[in-house]
Amino acid sequence: MEVDLTIKELLTNANQEHLITYWSELNNEQRQILLHDINEIDFSRVTKAYDGIKQELLADTTIPNIKVLIQDDKKETKQESIDDIMEPVTDNVTGSINETTKEQLARYRQIG
């Protein structure tokens, strides 16, 4: 079973082709699950949200997003990419299932 051309095109347009990299290694049930999951994603919405956050980060005046590069006596400015300015989340906003009480897990499940 090959990947449908419509799915390939959708993933290519969303720059998400890697989602089907291991397609040939999946069994039919796994392929159906993957296709279902892919079809559940609104790629245009995700891209729009990502672009909005990226623009906010790059527009933030507290983040120096312009670098001056000097190479071979040539001065060049380069705007950082979002990957250059992203940082890991702090420990106080992350958690571990191993360190969470049963009550907290129940609350998270109810919220989620």
| Burial profile 66-79: b = 16 or more Cβ within 10 angstroms, e = fewer | eeeeeeeeeeeeee
pTM (2 d.p.): 0.55
Percentage, residues of the chain above pLDDT 70: 77
Residue that has been written with the tokens 């990957």 in this structure: 83
| Contact predicate 43/16, CB 8 Å | yes
Give tens-digit pLDDT for 33-67.
Answer: 999 999 999 999 999 998 888 788 777 656 555 45
For the chain, the structural domain boundaries read 5-41, 61-112
Paired tokens of 40: 């559940």
